[in-house]
Structure 1
């Protein structure tokens, strides 16, 4: 099987690249996201069909990445440490500035201890 260059500057290219990294066929990805027709995945990968928000959410989850990466290509895709992602989500969920400052100070202290 010859490898072809995939244009990861497009959303379709990023979907295709992530699918291939997982070793999945278009049919398999379709199954995982609840699409029965593999041609729909081909349309997504060739940017000939718009991907709805609900489908984007499922695609991102199944491909181990974020919607932001799929749409904009601005994150590290599925390569980011899940603990870091969780820490960021927890920080974002804090309601007060005081809570955020306390949490960040704790993180700073831990990093100083490990240095």
Structure 2
């Protein structure tokens, strides 16, 4: 059986880390190269976040990469 990835949980962690930094979705989108609309979809799990985007988010939000993936 293949493990499932919980994109909603990943999105919630992205949102929490963004709010910790005091960034709006537009701010964070500009820093990682996407629109605030795309960030909104990622945060609610409507859009699957790519590995490349997750790496950028981890760098910008100053979180370990595994912070987003742990228990997902």
Q: Is the pair's TM-score, using the shorter chain for normalization, greater than 0.5?
A: yes
Cα offset, 1:68, TM superposition? 1.1
In 2: Cα distance, 1:20 partner to 1:67 partner: 17
In 1: Cα distance, 2:65 partner to 2:14 partner: 11
Q: Secondary structure at the match of 1:10?
A: helix
Q: Which has the higher contact order (CA 8 A, sep 6+)?
A: 2
Give unpaired runs (5+ residues) of structure 1.
Answer: 1-8, 74-115
Q: Runs of at least 4 residues of structure 1 off by over 2 A?
A: none
In 2: Cα distance, 1:18 partner to 1:41 partner: 13
- Residue 60 in structure 1 maps to residue 58 in structure 2: yes
In 2: Cα distance, 1:71 partner to 1:40 partner: 19
Give unpaired runs (5+ residues) of structure 2.
Answer: 1-7
Q: Which of the numbers 40, 48, 51 marks the counterpart of 1:50?
A: 48
Aligned-residue CA RMSD in angstroms? Answer: 1.7
In 2: Cα distance, 1:71 partner to 1:42 partner: 18
Trace 1:1-115 onto structure 2 (pairs within 5 A). Answer: 10-35=9-34, 37-72=35-70
**Equivalenced residues, count:** 65
